[in-house]
Structure 1
């Protein structure tokens, strides 16, 4: 056995040129192309599977405040290159076919992990469509074209496959208030550093349109084979809203997805579904080194008169 027979895994994370200024991303294009071309033509990838990916789109530029920016944040780039010799093998042909087909299916980073597992031990079965019961599915094997965000356990906040309609302004105000209260509760542990926030303006609100078939569905086939029941008069009382609003001090712009039980008038806010979508700069400088996770919600007192 030589050193070339030992399996290796390497990862390179590059963000210097793109993180703070989206306009400088293209600076690296030619160098990156030349680098990969040299590696491929030099045979360095003859026995390697190469993943080139982005973790997310730009999260605080002016572009992020547009619909295109919202999509780019949620739909990062992913490319996979297989060795040419491997693609000519029986398994390689099937895997390449499945990769191309899965480009049109809903996939997530959990699928990349499952794909790594297949690389460690290539499966024999490569023709059967995988069950949506698992959160992660291998990209090397067929993935259903009808896979949904619910199947993949993607929260509404991050799902790009949903239909929305214009929201109610009065409800939006109530929901935004709940979000700000949740943020303030989250930062109160550092209240001596971070000022409490107030709602400044509601910029947009939209309500998720429920799936009509799912809404009408009232039962499943039982052990005796009875048919499922549907309720034509079913009404959704639990709604999902996405709201965009600004806060003061600091002029932060937030995008939040909130659950609202209209029947019980109950609001559920999850901190993981609140995105700060404009640049906060140094307004959170006082908390960065102490508690980085509060930075997107913190406005330092010494910055209040300067924002």
Structure 2
């Protein structure tokens, strides 16, 4: 398909509501031109020799099957503790053989040998260890003050659009929507570029720019401990808190930011991630012995439910290594994610849990991202909720609002407000006519909500209608040149390290005038809301250009939204609306320590 044909099909095939300002396009998940970017990756096979150590609910022991295969086995274990954000320490070693051991820490290093000269085993395991301080705190908690005393389990994958979830996790999606009656947010829209811009609004209610400076290399930058993390609010309300993400070497709050000084939650995945990553090269890809690495994270989640069975918990687990750069391999997680959901349901854990399956954004660095549909999908990640079966009866108005909101424009800011409403529900009418940026999903979101209302810039708004413009158009060419000049200005202080970039190619360009439905819509002209009331006045004359271009040297591909003010013939560009959509790898290592936030623009000399 040519770009203009794709654009037209996207804008025609909408589940369109005439009286709703924002309508996301309908995109066929299995459209042939998109499916060519996906491949069958088969099954993920790890070591056939099963792991010698079993771990569950804060305990570990030597597996019976390992004894049958290898005879007498003697082992040593040592606890691993977090030292700081970048280091861990190993405790004293102790021997064991036949007994079940209570884990002294969430992470344990184990080495074993069969007989005097037999086979050896070495691995790092994780569980949710018994922590007396945490248990005493949560056992004292009274949940009477909470509006919705529910566990929160949020499990996510990096870079998964709503459509990619359907393509790669079909079994999980079917079970979640048909058996568990989960609700998918079909109007969910990102508010910025990358994982931090997705997770910070969810976890803090603010953007990175609004929060205290935490970027490496920036004056007065500080660790992120002082951010208003939602897990601290849950902790104050008596919850156990648990948070983890894999690929810790590019952690969401560590790659560009200074990370945490103190451990942020009761049970933290990062020490396990750091202690185990050195073993990756000795194992099959994505495996630790016979265990698939993603399943280790799922077992850790299950351990959290077992260890704190009757107490409330906030658990957020985020997995990246399958989907960060290649969506096809995400299919390896389908059976195990389905298994985790079935385990939680069959053991009655979901009867008191708000379950969230989600992603931060769609594909950013995959080949599909350069297709027109891929651009839209990046802006529409998978986000879904499931409530206990009794929830509808106890909270009828909140459940009704939530169901209706599933088809409205929603954002990460709304997830944060939804969490806050769980703890303390306030149903006071706003005295301000302007809609708040974040709106709880337990309250009606109006149909007239726009991307502007939700603080979504035009670059990220999936409900805007763009029209293809020629790459040879004079304004387009000048806009592209201004983008390259702007990027060069960002790296000017590092010119001794970074090349000055030049425009090599305009790959595609689109222009958008104000959406007429947004610009002219005033409300409904009839009591049924079927006839729109529109103004006949002039609309904003400014134009937005979305340009995908390639620079040299380095062959970087960028997608940028630039605003053109025709009256003064001026281009305005924001760094927030520049996306690097191909990998830069080690080409920017010269500014990795001094200015990691500039890596996407820097091609080292």
- The interval holding the TM-score normalised by the smaller chain is 0.7 to 0.9
2:497 alignment partner, SS class: coil
2:585 alignment partner, SS class: coil
Q: Equivalent of 2:452, from 143, 150, 155?
A: 150
Change (3 A) 1:236 1:118: closer
| Superposition pairs of residues 33-182 of structure 1, within 5 angstroms | 33-89=338-394, 91=395, 93-123=396-426, 133-167=435-469, 169-182=473-486
Change (3 A) 1:134 1:30: same
Q: Contact 1:64 / 1:277 at 8 angstroms: preserved in 2?
A: yes
Give yes or no for the alignment of 1:19 onto 2:318. Answer: no
Q: Contact 1:132 / 1:147 at 8 angstroms: preserved in 2?
A: no
State how far apart, in whole Å, the 2-side matches of 1:18 and 1:192 are: 35
Q: Which has the higher contact order (CA 8 A, sep 6+)?
A: 2
Q: Contact 1:105 / 1:146 at 8 angstroms: preserved in 2?
A: no
State how far apart, in whole Å, the 2-side matches of 1:185 and 1:87 are: 55
Shift of 1:174: 0.6
Shift of 1:286: 2.5
1:76 alignment partner, SS class: coil
Partner of 1:203: 507
Q: Contact 2:588 / 2:602 at 8 angstroms: preserved in 1?
A: yes
State how far apart, in whole Å, the 2-side matches of 1:38 and 1:235 are: 55
Task: List runs of 5+ in structure 2 lacking aligned partners.
Answer: 1-137, 140-307, 522-534
Q: Deviations over 1:63-108 (max 9, x none)?
A: 000122112211111011112233332x1x3323222211110000
Q: Equivalent of 2:577, from 270, 273, 283?
A: 273
Moved more, 6-15 or 101-110: 6-15
State how far apart, in whole Å, the 1-side matches of 2:333 and 2:492 are: 42
| Superposition pairs of residues 182-197 of structure 1, within 5 angstroms | 182-197=486-501
If the length of structure 2 is used for normalisation, what is the TM-score?
Answer: 0.44
Count of residues in Structure 1 that have an aligned counterpart in Structure 2: 285
Change (3 A) 1:99 1:237: closer
State how far apart, in whole Å, the 1-side matches of 2:592 and 2:516 are: 45
Shift of 1:46: 2.1
Moved more, 104-113 or 189-198: 189-198
Q: Equivalent of 2:557, from 253, 265, 281?
A: 253
Shift of 1:240: 1.1
Task: List runs of 5+ in structure 1 lacking aligned partners.
Answer: 218-229, 302-307
| Superposition pairs of residues 268-307 of structure 1, within 5 angstroms | 268-301=572-605
Change (3 A) 1:109 1:215: closer
Structure with bigger gyration radius: 2
Shift of 1:235: 6.8
If the length of structure 1 is used for normalisation, what is the TM-score?
Answer: 0.84
Change (3 A) 1:145 1:175: same
State how far apart, in whole Å, the 1-side matches of 2:539 and 2:327 are: 44
